Structure 1
């Protein structure tokens, strides 16, 4: 039996708004969370990104907001500005009543403007812990009438060092508040926070039997021992030729270095990490969504809130430490009914991590060797053939037939076609043409000089011993 939003206990007006937005069938997290939250219960929900958790907590929250009261009644804490902005936009979509005030408070934006909005009246605040603390300390944000607190992406707030700020904020809210904690993973510190601040919470867990169903294809490439990882990545990019890719690295420095290297090789790529200003992030995200930038190199924390529907590839340049993080990463592709490809680069020491990931996703992932020039050339020719078939089926082909007839008087038609393909191949040949495939990707093993020195002495012919004839 297929459940509806109305069967979950939402008001008829709310259901009608959802239907106008095209939402008719709730997701599993919404089915489990919405009825319990409507009952006023605290909740701990473990669910990956893309499962509809924003609607799971915001829809019950909207049902309880008193529009006649201009005071802040609900606060949603997020780890990043981008996620705060997305949650704000989602809540606005779910609500058409202009009397509802929703405000995003985070760094990189004018605090004076945020203060003026608070003074005019705002019922829902979505913000990052740092800016919320600043406004609390100034006395411009008051939480004495808070009924709702939501911790969104709690594990990432822990990773970013916000856990103490979160505790400080929770202590300033009324004890009779309703609290919901949403997190992709549940490390010990999050469990401790739940035990300290939530009252008999109901637990909701959305298990994904296989993180990558048919819509996500997972591939793993082994980087040869001693080979620079960047050298192994470029043939992979040349073979895959992603339309839109998110490349995950471990640190900001790695993001900057990898981006610079790929840009110098002629690729359309940019970096996305915590050192960028808010305006820089927004401009890059806009360019990425419009296809002006094909690939983005990002850290895990910065990428929270970076969602692109047309993402064709997720590439783990650095494999994450936790299997849950791997699941969270690759879940960014294969959305909205599209297919997606998840690629991971591993080194021999990463075998254990890969085993943990395979157990988590309950799937064996084949490990391949770095693509060769012949493989890349073959793939490129396949794409040219596909383009040629499209052209043959198109209407514009007729305008070029007179040219072919003229050339046919002097050249063989097959030769004309081959020359045309060669021209097209040369024009579209990407940066991999300049890659060095001749030099082996494996460095020669280093020689232990000390051991070599001793062995050479042993192998050196011994001088004859001349005995003293007087003895």
Structure 2
């Protein structure tokens, strides 16, 4: 995890000079969670904390509405700046949460627009993430001055409190069989099941929704209210199994998740670390099960190295596999 400068500005006295701090998050779900946590931290203090919603973007006049801390996704904030509804020139603190995700190509232009809009010469920028590849760190340092890096634990590694396991399922058809068998033998909710994309999420949900388990799904095609309900029901224990894309793999805090199942093999070691990190939080133990097929074997070494670094037993043949450049691959099977 990387911390640049201090993150304790919420203890200072509230300002009436417009937006004082901006927290940028890659997903709406993480932005909502950050908003709730900031409200808790600022309880009893006269701070104006706002979450950038669609309604706020369309209606707010920030010159008239007090706002000390503004929390948003990049696209909504860029839109507000472009439409001149929001002046970020006085922002003193800019926080990029899950910064390596924010520096990916799909979000980089939006983040760059926000960074440029925060033009205060004395601004303090802070980057947070559990993983930060060297290439991304080099890019991040181009917007930093006199940067200080703090690492808690090992860099780019999984928590040692998570028991990790790789399960060979042969083919795509074997995944559903293995998942049903896992649930039949030892369903210990709450359980998160990660798939590669929204189409896979929809298909797997349709396969399981009539089973004797309380299952739900979350992906980017769902309306925002339905996505919020899916998360709230999972947190409340009304849902036992939540099928999800990587939209909730980053930063989301679900207390007491007993097991994470990677139904689809992750696209990178960073994606793996973030996915399984939804379990084993706040001193609790957890379990992570990753299915792999014949097509996934060539990518096993990266995951095996992460597992070994966090104290898990890994077969030697996996560690001796040739190192290949990771490329995104999509499972071809469509559920029937």
CA contact (8 A) 1:76 1:125 kept: yes
Q: Classify 1:235/1:308 alpha carbon distance in 2 versus 1 (closer, same or farther; 3 Å).
A: same
Number of equivalences: 311
State the shift of 1:227 in Å: 3.9
Q: Deviations 1:58-90 (Å, cap 9, x if unpaired)?
A: x2x224x55243411111111111111221222
Structure with the higher fraction of residues in helix conformation: 1
Q: Deviations 1:227-264 (Å, cap 9, x if unpaired)?
A: 44222321122122131111001100000000110113
Alignment partners' CA distance in 1, 2:63 and 2:239: 37
CA contact (8 A) 1:220 1:366 kept: no
2:150 match: secondary structure:
strand
Which of structures 1 and 2 has the larger relative contact order (alpha carbons within 8 angstroms, sep 6+)? Answer: 2
2:125 matched to 1:179?
Answer: yes
CA contact (8 A) 1:103 1:117 kept: no
Alignment partners' CA distance in 2, 1:268 and 1:315: 16
Match in the other structure for 2:319: none
Alignment partners' CA distance in 1, 2:56 and 2:42: 25
Q: Classify 1:226/1:37 alpha carbon distance in 2 versus 1 (closer, same or farther; 3 Å).
A: closer
CA contact (8 A) 2:194 2:244 kept: yes
Question: 2:313 is matched with which residue: 343, 352, 364?
Answer: 364
1:276 match: secondary structure:
coil
Match in the other structure for 2:210: 264
1:37 match: secondary structure:
coil
Question: 1:119 is matched with which residue: 40, 55, 64?
Answer: 64
Match in the other structure for 1:37: 5
Question: 2:259 is matched with which residue: 299, 313, 320?
Answer: 313
- Segments of structure 2 that go 5 or more residues without pairing to the other structure are 317-336
Alignment partners' CA distance in 2, 1:306 and 1:120: 29
- Segments of structure 1 that go 5 or more residues without pairing to the other structure are 1-28, 39-56, 368-471
Alignment partners' CA distance in 2, 1:324 and 1:175: 33
TM-score by length of 1: 0.61
Question: 1:149 is matched with which residue: 94, 114, 123?
Answer: 94
Which of 1 and 2 has greater Rg?
1
Alpha-carbon RMSD: 2.5
State the shift of 1:274 in Å: 1.0
Alignment partners' CA distance in 1, 2:294 and 2:283: 35
Alignment partners' CA distance in 2, 1:295 and 1:92: 29
Alignment partners' CA distance in 2, 1:94 and 1:358: 39
1:70-469 matched pairs, under 5 angstroms: 70-107=17-54, 109-112=55-58, 115=60, 119-159=64-104, 161-173=106-118, 174-187=120-133, 190-208=136-154, 211-213=158-160, 215-225=161-171, 227-362=173-308, 363-365=312-314
